[in-house]
Amino acid sequence: MIKEHDLVVLRRDLPEVGVEAGDVGVAIATYPNGALEVEFVDAGGATLGVATLEPGEVRALEGSEILHVRSLSPA
């Protein structure tokens, strides 16, 4: 079960936020229906966006995974 402050992996692209499937965010709020508020930030700590997502749209980051870096397209 994902809790507040857990790292999560996005399962689908969110072009309106500028993130893609596989990007990592942090759960900043959880709701009784299982939905999550997830914040996505760049490497400098600037918020790219916040999205309310259903449980199936993210998964918990596993300890055996490695993070990957990609450049963001200029806006």
Q: 3-state SS string over 12-48? A: CCECCCCECCCCEEEEEEECCCCCEEEEEECCCCCEE
Lowest model confidence (mean pLDDT) among 21-30, 32-41, 63-72: 63-72
Instruction: Taking residues 19-23, report their average pLDDT.
Output: 95
Give the confidence band of 72 by pLDDT, cuts at 50, 70, 90. confident
Percentage of the residues of the chain whose pLDDT score is greater than 70: 96
What pTM, to 2 d.p., does this model score? 0.90
Instruction: Taking residues 35-57, report their average pLDDT.
Output: 96
